[in-house]
Amino acid sequence: MIIDGQAEFRTLLMHHVTTHWNDAIISVYDPITAGDLPDEFSGAGNDIVLLGDDQGERDGLHTLKLFVKTPGFPGVIYFGSGERSQAEHARKIGADGYLQRDQIHHDAFTIMLSDILRARRRIATTDSLFVGDVGTGIYPLIKGYRLIRKLSAGEHSAVYLAERESTKINIVLKVLRQDPEVADSIGTFDRFLQEYEMIADLDHPNIVKIYALGVADDHAHIAMEYMPGGDLKRRIEKGISATDAVSYVKQIASALAKIHSVSILHRDLKPGNIMLREDGTIALIDFGLAKRMRLEQAITGSGEIFGTPYYMSPEQGHADEVDERGDIYSLGILFFEMLTGEKPFRASNAMGIIYKHLHAPVPVLPVEHAEYQAVINLMLAKKPADRFQSADEIAGWF
């Protein structure tokens, strides 16, 4: 959980966390607009609290003192001005870690966070949850499947290429590690099930096919379609023709229209979450940040900010109301990148990228792709009201 009065700082911390733990679930609280958290706030359901010193009318160190005196409160990293006296005071009160808010170094931050989680929870972290070679017994044994290799891993889950023994067909297994010693293991498991439930019934050619959900004593897994063509990120690096880029955009838009029709926002469109099949078609994967909701409901009502800064809509990056038009903006960023091989907005840090999404002009395509500029303008308009209002509208422009 991130608690601070500055939206850009909250988003910066979110970026550092999700860069290292891409399946992290982050809640964000703004004490300036929402008011001070009650004195009885227990931090329940959170693994760690990132507490900034911008707490509105209440002194940040006083807030820290209230938190740490609460039995069972999660670990706390305090972000302050960097003054030695403040750092010493924060540690004396009981902060598990202290960092200067305007000089956060990614590696130092993630190492500190990992160490606190390890000390607090006494379980392996990202790099040691799944170790050893497949077949040694260190990896989870899942009846009916033969694990071939690990594709990726996060703090709570890992993704494997596996073979279904009954059919000898390759599939992908997303495996959740459950641990009874972890206070939030039930909440994490519920979120894992929610991801399955959101997409299991979606029958669409451009959404990953879900085959099964399995639950064992110490882990759960989702079996899904394996797409050997790799992800869109790799495809972009090799270069994409305008014809293929248009085809991909239309397919993604069709998938978005489907999920939006059942009140699901993806909220994390990026090249790594789009996979290619052998026949050249594509499919959306990884709905870990998606949320079923009434589309007109403001995400800020629950204090949540999600996404990846390079592909994040202006409203998403500034914790404003988000609806399906946020996904359309992210698709516009993807389309620009597919056509040019370059991300339209770059900066030295995440806050700079978020600033450009809101304030920099809509990017201009090279002259050879000028025919698509009107579509880019409608997808990347700063105000949601000036964009395509639904994903269904996009295909008609090609």
Domains delineated in the chain: 2-121 (3.40.50.2300), 145-225 (3.30.200.20), 232-397 (1.10.510.10)
Pairing outcome for strands 282-284 and 291-292 = unpaired
This prediction has a pTM of 0.64
For residues 35 and 33, give the distance between their C-alpha atoms in angstroms, rounded to a whole number. Answer: 6
Quick one: pLDDT at residue 304? Answer: 40
| Half-sphere exposure for 40 (CA within 13 Å, toward CB) | 0
Quick one: pLDDT at residue 191? Answer: 63
Q: Catalytic: 39?
A: no
81's tokens? 């001005």
94's tokens? 């009981």
* Tens of pLDDT, residue by residue, the chain (398 residues): 999 999 999 999 988 888 877 667 788 899 998 888 887 788 887 889 999 999 988 899 999 999 988 888 889 999 998 888 999 999 999 999 999 998 898 888 888 888 888 776 653 333 333 434 444 444 566 778 888 888 877 666 778 899 998 889 999 988 876 554 444 444 556 666 666 777 777 889 999 998 888 876 567 888 999 999 999 999 999 999 999 999 999 999 999 999 999 888 888 889 988 999 999 999 998 775 555 543 333 323 333 434 568 898 998 887 777 889 999 999 999 999 999 999 999 887 778 888 899 999 999 999 999 999 999 999 999 999 999 999 999 988 88
The dihedral sign for the CA sequence 219, 225, 227, 231 = negative
Quick one: pLDDT at residue 356? Answer: 92
For residues 335 and 98, give the distance between their C-alpha atoms in angstroms, rounded to a whole number. Answer: 41
CA distance from start to end of the chain: 43
DSSP 326: H
Q: Give the three-state DSSP class for 171.
A: strand
Report the greatest alpha carbon distance in the chain: 65
For residues 161 and 173, give the distance between their C-alpha atoms in angstroms, rounded to a whole number. Answer: 6
DSSP 96: S
- Name the active-site residue from 47, 268, 323, 327: 268
Quick one: pLDDT at residue 4? Answer: 94
Output the CA torsion 109→115→119→120 (10° steps).
30
Which residue's structure tokens are 């023709």? 241
